[in-house]
Amino acid sequence: MLTGQRLCHSESHNDTVLAALNQQRSDGILCDVTLIAEEQKFHAHKAVLAACSDYF
């Protein structure tokens, strides 16, 4: 049991976080890696790539 802490649950938290990360990516904010495929550049967050793929 948690002492002195509160546990909050939100059905929309995951969507909100992903939307914020995508907006940051779109704006080029805090992107720390650039992927290049077929001469097209994709700015991304290393932490998101690592969390979503064993490749990274």
pTM for the predicted model, two decimal places: 0.66
CATH number of 14-52: 3.30.710.10
pLDDT of the residue at 1? 61
pLDDT of residue 38: 97
The amino acid occupying position 1 is M
Chain segment 1-56, per-residue pLDDT in tens? 667 888 888 889 999 999 999 999 999 899 999 999 999 999 999 999 999 998 88
Q: Where are the domains of the chain?
A: 14-52
- Separation in Å, CA 18 to CA 2, 5, 15, 44: 27, 25, 5, 13
